[in-house]
Structure 1
Amino acid sequence: MTSARIRILIILGIVVAAFNLRPGVTGLSPLLDAMGEEIRLSATFLAIIGMLPPLLYGLSGFITPRLYARFSGLGLTLAAMVMVTIGLGVRAVIDSPWIFLALSVLALLGMGIGNVVLPPLVKSYFPDKVALMSTVHVGLLQFGTFIPPLVAVPLASDFGWRGSLLVWAGFAALGVLAWIVIRIVRPAPAAEVAAEVVGGSELSRLLRSPRAWALMTMTGLTSFNNFILFTWLPSLLTRSGFDAAFGGAMLALVTAIPLVLGFVLPTLAQKMTSAYLIVVGFCISLAVGYLGLWLVPTAAPVLWTVLLGIGISTFPLALTLITLRARDAKGAAALSGFVQGGGYLLAATGPLIFAFLIQSFDSMWPAFAVVLASVVVKFFVSHAACRPGAI
């Protein structure tokens, strides 16, 4: 096989893998009400299913680099696609909520491994096209985030909620086939790049850095709200009288906005001395969106959704700040692991707390009080997180 065909094959593999890292999360939320009509879903189930994605993404950030050091990136990516395919495919056909959760763990762990493995693969096989291929990688990941909720309910209308979930297992199976071929071909990388193991003196230094903690907290609270909205936005809208298809469309919209802004924010942040004013604007947008969704949800649901989408767009900005504020390549790897690993673990508490408060009180004010409080905390810690200079 010629080098040009090998590069095309690797590009195809990265595209398919990146797309499959989110549909199992955002493609489920609009279907929870329909699923609950057939399978009894307890408050505990709803809390756990929302908590699992950030929890497992965070854990994967710490364990995958150690697996990468022992196994090849090609093999790990294939394993990740197999885990996603089996987890998503089998959970769609079972009737036990607890087995559904166990299979979700398998699928989400595969997605978390994919999150960590793809960037070093891009650097290994496209060292001269890192920026371009990183854009492809992130773009397909975001595309796989907002398309599933948009089509989940229409697919369920034609094939049932199980059929709707199986569609994403089918896409993951395409990923398995692509990476089996790549694994057989075993293309030689243009440059050997490993996933950095986060630890040692660099991690100890970050643990003593208030600015590193501030950046991790800012990132974690952004994801805290991301995963609450991923899990609960469709249900909150249906509780207000909208149909499930509208709830799915609004979830697609709230995930699409960070994708669009993600193309602008890195350049903007690089030109600004401090990105704090951007974060302030995002915090205000998020707070107003939450207040509208809580107090007058039927008045302007599209506007509230747009404001929420703008508000959670701090995440691509935070990823840019990791690169801008790191001292060197080793520092960037350690800071990325610390910020994303710790941030995802913090984010895992969001859906759990929100679900508990929604289910435990007749009023929704305690749940919205928590998310609004998280916005206030993010407002204050972001000043240190955005301050210029190396961390």
Structure 2
Amino acid sequence: MEAVAPPASTLAAPVPAAIQTGPAARPRGTALILAGILLVALNLRVAITSLGALLEEVRTGLHLSGAMAGVVTTMPTIAFAAFGALAPWLVRRFTAGRIVLAAMVALLAGEAVRVATGSTVVFIATSAVALAGIAVANILLPLLVRQHFPHRTGLVTGAYTVSLTIGASVAAASAVPIADAFGSWRAGLGAWSLLAVIAMLPWLPAVFRRRTTQAAVAPLAARVRPARTRVGWAMAIYFGAQALSGHATMGWLAQLFRDSGYRPQTAGLLLAGVTAVGIPVALVMPALAMRLNNLRPLVLGLSATMIASYVGLAIAPHDGAVVWVVLLSIGQGAFPLALVAIGLRARTPEGTVALSAFTQCLGYLIAALGPLVVGALYELTGGWNLPLGFLIGAAVVQIVAGLAVARPRFVED
């Protein structure tokens, strides 16, 4: 990171001790911090994908209407946008370790209470509490990586992205078998609370560390406003465009393969293949980005691969399915690229958390449109050409925004 950014000491305002990145500010027990980051990442999608796998059982058990089920499935992206905006405010008042610990407590409380209630209102409210914890942790992970691993940013970003992906995949695949084994959907959702408890353990020492005063934070925080910068908007649009495609794929790709003639089980395996192939891509992409002076080749290559996959799905969805799945997996390497780019486009830790919050909050609002628009176009036309055309258009927007992100400039400037 320091190879492309001047040290924070060149800025007029001091960097608060809570978020400094120098050796003096780095706590002992780096291995414990790394374990904490990976365990938090493991939790960031399990509450969502396990619910998706058991949605029909939850609807039956809680007597949810179709409209309420729609609210439940749309909540994650809205919650990520709404609650993620709190992260910069929290960082100005508490250490990052304490905030992460509190986020995991919120996740645990939401997961535990929602499986014990028979009320639709309480279920939705406690799901929102769990999602609030996830949203704040989403924003803080890039800051924690920069704070504790300034010379291994790409490698650690790739590692926690893989951890996130594994958590999402395992929860989606295991929720139904767990529910069947225990005879209740509540077990299939509640089992993942244990992961949140485990993720808290590495962050418990943060409770006993001295709280940093906020006096040093305010001058710098007031100056870092991504919404007033071109790089901030470029990052948010790039993140939003790639997340839109990712969420639309998760929601509708299996249906596309079923419509092309595959059995439901095979269509599900093809969808799982997108995640499986994407794991090594997620591990390699951030480290590769850190080695390049300009991100333009990665932006163009990933977006072009994604467009090629969509064109193939429109022309030959059955015969070329495996090829299109592989290409789509590579193209979705834009997600870990976007995460590492947040750190590359900020000079300071405060800039990192401000840019992370703005990028992910606005980006997830954009992403919420993906499944909705694709579903509406599919229902309107009864086919996949128009929905895939919409996703190709999103990929073009991703290219334009990504080329702006690729330029070596910083949100503090």
Corresponding residue SS for 1:321: helix
Matched, 1:318 2:338: yes
Deviation of 1:110 after TM superposition, in Å, equals 1.9
What is the number of residues matched between the two proteins? 381
Given candidates 233, 238, 250, the residue that maps to 2:270 is 250
**Equivalence map 1:174-213=2 (5 Å):** 174-176=195-197, 179=200, 183=204, 186-188=207-209, 200-203=222-225, 206-213=226-233
Alignment partners' CA distance in 2, 1:6 and 1:224: 38
**Does residue 54 of the first structure (1) align with residue 77 of the second (2)?**
yes
Change (3 A) 1:209 1:255: same
Over 3 Å counting, the alpha-carbon distance change for 1:70 and 1:170 in structure 2 is farther
Runs of 5+ unmatched residues, structure 2? 1-26
**Matched residues in 2 for 1:181 and 1:337: separation?**
24
Determine whether 1:309 maps to 2:332: no
Offset, 1:261: 1.9
Q: Pairwise mapping of residues 272-311 of structure 1 onto structure 2 (< 5 A)?
A: 272-311=292-331
1:274 match: secondary structure: coil
> Is the 2:234–2:405 contact (alpha carbons within 8 Å) kept by the matching residues of 1?
yes
- Give 1:283 shift: 1.8
Q: Name the stretch that deviates more: 262-271 or 133-142.
A: 133-142
Q: Corresponding residue for 1:140?
A: 163
Provide Cα deviations, 1:20-74, integer angstroms capped at 9, x if missing partner.
1111223344444666687877664565444322222222321133234445655
Asked if 2 retains the 8 angstrom alpha-carbon contact of 1:41 and 1:97, the reply is yes
RMSD after superposition: 4.0
Any residues of structure 2 matched to 1:255-266 within 5 Å, and which? 255-266=275-286
1:378: how far off? 1.6
Say if 1:192 and 1:7 are closer, same or farther in 2 by CA, change over 3 A.
farther
Runs of 5+ consecutive residues of structure 1 not aligned to the other structure: none
Verify: 1:373 aligned to 2:396, yes or no. no
Please tell me whether the aligned partners of residues 50 and 352 of structure 1 are also in contact (alpha carbons under 8 angstroms).
Answer: no
TM-score (normalizing by structure 1) = 0.77
Identity of aligned residues (%): 30
Is the 8 Å Cα contact of residues 30 and 247 (structure 1) preserved in structure 2?
A: no
| Shift of residue 374, structure 1, vs aligned partner | 0.7
Change (3 A) 1:127 1:357: closer
Q: Give distance in 2, aligned partners of 1:9 and 1:330.
A: 23
1:155·1:163 contact (CA, 8 Å) conserved in 2? no
Q: Give the match's secondary structure for 2:301.
A: helix
One-letter amino acid matched to 1:368:
L
> 1:366, 1:66 → 2: CA distance?
42
Deviation at 1:377, TM superposition (A): 1.8
TM-score relative to the length of structure 2: 0.74
Q: Where do 1:1-391 residues align within 5 Å?
A: 13-32=36-55, 44-45=67-68, 47-70=70-93, 73=96, 76-91=99-114, 100-118=123-141, 126=148, 131=153, 137-152=160-175, 154-155=177-178, 158=181, 162=185, 165-166=188-189, 169-176=190-197, 179=200, 183=204, 186-188=207-209, 200-203=222-225, 206-240=226-260, 242-391=262-411
Contact 1:78–1:176, Cα closer than 8 Å, also in 2: no
